[in-house]
Chains A and B, each alone.
Chain A
């Protein structure tokens, strides 16, 4: 048989026809790459700025204020909270609200003037080592040049620092050796649970539609909630077994710390799975067939991975991207998982994220049961 242009064109026409008929594929192929390009171009900063910082002032002279504003002007630090004791600072850094705590000790200014090189203490959240590196570099530059130019002229010129007028002691918290694996593994666990939950569930109802068994289910006296609970149960069990296996592997083999309560983490995982399954259920009610369900799942999964703080630092994103990120279950799960594993967080530190996960689960489940077809229309 010889190659026939006519047959080829016939084949091409058929393919174009089918390709254009499938709106979901078109949307996926056009919107997704554009969205990702924009995200990379404008939204994602691998050296996140405006890192939340808490300030513990035991000395508040004009010199200290100069230091604070120098740090803020570097754009890497944003002072979010003025605290009065260490416990408050612990709460803030444990719950991830701030990444740094700057402690200005008593008599800092006095010691500075006496050239006794006072010690400035910076607690840094190293659970994501990549994200804070730039801020630490910026602070080091501020220290080296602090007061170098302006104030110490004339008789005070001898105060001009050589090595910098004060010593900076950085307390690398939670991951002192900056092992990036420690940060990545809780993220990977979250990613896997998302993928499995959303994909598995998105196929469940569409499979019934494709095989024609949905008609039977709809003709039976079953409520959407009953169908949903029934369908969610096996993946939940699978998800919990998988979660336990992944945690065991991470801690036992890859020596990722587990400073907090594994039970609290498992509880969070179950809640997180509920969110993912509810999203999957909503997708499966929207999609007409299994191919569409997979495509829609990818549309949900990509932003999850990009905007949750899993791949790129959450604080390196502009406010709009962070707002989207806050609606993504993975964002909250990552904070919980990293918090419990690396920081030893307890319920008091993560309850806000737990509440967010619960809210997402309830809202999505409500939408999903509304979307669920009660007739064949």
Chain B
């Protein structure tokens, strides 16, 4: 294959004691794309990101990040990636500007001061340069972390749950920034719990228990499950007894409607008749969402244990 991947790793394994946090992951990410890691807590998303940027040593497997070996060239990798940690990791007792100046100097930027000012301006932080980072709200802390991660013009940006605790508007703006960065050719790896965010990624890596259980675009992942989803409305009272009659079929509340998904549509209709009584509800087929796929996959994994 002639194509050059920004990240090309295979068989990554990381153990913490007896616990296998990442269990043999292969990953190839093309330059300039957004690759999202989706998965429940403890599925190995953060560990994978840390392995890629050399913050953790892999117990098995290996590969390259921008052509540098992730096992022995972490210094080179550090210089050309930006990493935004899950927990805010800038100095709360320094001002916004001081944090950025420190970062710019650590990366030995030639024009550190100019670069800091232009970063402040482009991320709308210029009024807050003198404010202590500890006094910023969640959304502004996130912007500061992003600004610091971008200050050295990295080729790869690793974002570990960047929008946790950030309001919807700031989240939307953040994702717009991410897309424009990708358009500039920066490769972005982002981990998230949010389905809507995962849907904005070009490529989703679906993780569970340290394994990749599905990958591809959101549509590909939904289609690959083979699930049919029905939206049920105008039903009577929902009791535990009614839900029990649905059997093992996955079911989620959306306001006054229910989304139920299963492989077999006929079986699903029969279960609905059993539960609500024929004609006592309205049903229509809808597209299977990423969330339905997510629940389907994680349930499958847990049942398999």
Contact surface of A with B, Cβ cutoff 8 Å: 211-216, 218-222, 374-377
- B87 adjacent to A212 (CB under 8 Å): yes
Given known A215-B85, A216-B90, contact A221–B55 (CB-CB < 8 A): no
B106 touches A375 (CB 8 A): no
Q: Which residues of the partner chain B approach A211 to less than 8 Å between Cβ atoms?
A: 89, 92
CA distance A221 to B79 in the complex (A): 6
A-B contact pairs, 28 of them (CB 8 A): A211-B92, A212-B88, A212-B89, A213-B89, A213-B91, A214-B89, A215-B85, A216-B83, A216-B85, A216-B90, A219-B53, A219-B55, A219-B78, A219-B81, A219-B83, A220-B78, A220-B106, A221-B75, A221-B79, A221-B107, A222-B106, A374-B74, A375-B54, A375-B56, A375-B74, A376-B55, A376-B56, A377-B57
Chain A residues with CB under 8 Å of B88's CB are 212
Kindly state whether residue B50 has any CB partner on chain A within 8 Å. Answer: yes
Q: Complex Cα distance A73/B55, Å?
A: 65
* Cross-interface CB contact of A221 among B78, B90, B91, cutoff 8 Å: B78
From residue 50 to 97 of chain B, which have CB atoms closer than 8 A to chain A?
50, 53-57, 74-75, 78-79, 81, 83, 85, 87-92
Complex contacts, A218 vs chain B, CB 8 Å: 55
Q: Which A residues are in CB contact (< 8 Å) with B79?
A: 221
Over the window 41-52 of chain B, the binary record of Cβ atoms lying under 8 Å from chain A Cβ atoms (1 yes, 0 no) is 000000000100
B229 within 8 A of A: no
For residue B88, which residue of chain A has the nearest CB? Answer: A212
Task: Give the CA-CA distance A216 to B99 in the complex, in Å.
Answer: 12
Contacts A212-B89, A219-B85 aside, 16 further interface pairs with beta carbons under 8 A come to A212-B85, A212-B88, A213-B89, A213-B90, A214-B89, A215-B55, A216-B83, A216-B85, A216-B90, A218-B55, A221-B75, A221-B106, A374-B74, A375-B55, A375-B57, A377-B57
Residue of A nearest to B16 (CB): A377
Q: Give the 3 A-B CB pairs with smallest separation, nearest first.
A: A216-B89, A219-B83, A221-B78
> Is the Cβ of A376 less than 8 Å from the Cβ of B50?
yes
- List chain B residues, Cβ under 8 A from A216: 83, 85, 89-90
Query: A211 CA to B93 CA in the complex, in Å?
Result: 11
Whether the Cβ atoms of B89 and A220 lie closer than 8 Å is: no
Taking the closest CB of chain A, its distance from the CB of B147, in whole angstroms, is 13
Q: For window 6-64 of chain B, which residues contact chain A by CB distance below 8 Å?
A: 50, 53-57
In the assembled complex, the CB of B135 is this many whole angstroms from the nearest CB of chain A, namely: 15
List residues of chain B with CB within 8 A of the CB of A215.
Answer: 55, 85, 87, 89
CB-contacts of B116-147 with A (<8 A): none
- Distance between Cα atoms of A297 and B164 in the complex (Å): 37
Distance, CA A212 to CA B55, complexed state (A): 13
A189 to B133: give the CA distance in the assembly, Å.
38
* Given contact pairs A216-B90, A220-B78, A221-B78, A377 touches B56 in the complex (Cβ within 8 A): yes
Question: In this assembly, does B103 line the interface, its C-beta being within 8 Å of a C-beta of chain A?
Answer: yes
Residues in B with CB closer than 8 Å to A212 are 85, 87-89
What are the residues of chain A within 8 A of B74 when measuring CB–CB?
374-375
